[in-house]
Amino acid sequence: MNDISVSELKKRLDAGENIMMIDVREPYEREEFNIGGTLIPLGQISDVKNKFPNAKDDEIVVYCRSGARSGVAKLQMMGMGYNKVRNLTGGMMTWQTNFR
């Protein structure tokens, strides 16, 4: 599935869409700034199977600081059978640059 830009995600959230989001950063990064996704650090991404066992065909946006870790998370989740995983390009760095 194609990745998603910060502009597209923000527009959809502002429109009230209920979008499943997973934050793959570390807890201290989330404390600094977050947009409300479920925290599952990259090193624990296999936990997604327990937290969201019935979401394999749902759109899921994964994000991190820059988009690198979430890109890895996307690939790992796709390997676990999650079919509609989208990486937030540019991550929280781009989000904060555009919307703070």
The reply to whether 31 belongs to the active site is no
Can you give the pLDDT at residue 10?
A: 97
Token readout for 82 is 């999650």
Q: Across the chain, what does the average pLDDT equal?
A: 96
- Domain ranges in the chain are 6-99
6, pLDDT greater than 80:
yes
Looking at domain 6-99, its CATH superfamily turns out to be Rhodanese-like domain (3.40.250.10)
Catalytic residue among 24, 48, 61, 64: 64
pLDDT in tens, 16-29: 999 999 999 999 99
